[in-house]
Chains A and B, each alone.
Chain A
Amino acid sequence: AQKITQTQPGMFVQEKEAVTLDCTYDTSDQSYGLFWYKQPSSGEMIFLIYQGSYDEQNATEGRYSLNFQKARKSANLVISASQLGDSAMYFCAMRERGGNKLTFGGGTRVLVKP
């Protein structure tokens, strides 16, 4: 079974609008962490935001927020006020208890239209 599932291979969003990127995960651990990374066309991997499984508040970092629904095992990324520079691949990843490796989902490509 896939540990991290990103069901949206690609999506368009209008500049200045918000976009939600879906991520569901599968783990039997109680302690785990969820991460989002951005990969622009230049190829580098940029860390965006982190949510711990015990964090009661949804994580926020500037225009990025994480809609964490633990019971549904989902950790959706919300990008508010989209900018042209937000066009990129976005990856959701999970770290489970007992290790510090990250397992990545397949990614969602976002294209922001002017």
Chain B
Amino acid sequence: DAGVIQSPRHEVTEMGQEVTLRCKPISGHNSLFWYRQTMMRGLELLIYFNNNVPIDDSGMPEDRFSAKMPNASFSTLKIQPSEPRDSAVYFCASSVYTGELFFGEGSRLTVL
């Protein structure tokens, strides 16, 4: 069975550029999560969706970050404009409502 699929796996960009991270959750899962992992702040929840509807976006750092889930099989996390402090590993995860989270392999973002 395919797990959570994230792309790109690695992204290097320059400050000010737009970055789009993509996620395909596991089929049949109705919740999708975006987490960010850094050495300083650990694993932080940015936003999560239930049934494609954003439920909690309180972790989104600022207006430069936006996330969408246009359908049950696809989500994007966009950063515009990107800054060096956005450098991190971004994880997408999915679950059935009360189950454990299944994580993708992560997207490692470096903003120069």
Q: Which residues of A contact B (CB under 8 A)?
A: 33, 35, 37, 43-45, 47, 50, 91, 95, 99-107
Contact = CB atoms under 8 A, between A and B. Distances in A.
A100 B95 contact: yes
B95 A44 contact: no
A53 to B, nearest CB: 13
A37 B93 CA distance: 13
A47 B42 contact: no
Interface footprint category on B: 20 to 34
Contact of A43 (B50, B55, B100, B105): B105
Interface of B: 31, 33, 35, 42-43, 45, 48, 50, 55-56, 89, 91, 93, 95, 97-98, 100-103, 105-106, 108
A107 B42 contact: yes
Nearest to B100: A47
Contact of B105 (A44, A91, A106): A44
Contacts of A99: 55-56
A102 B91 CA distance: 13
B106 A103 contact: no
Contacts of B106: 43-44
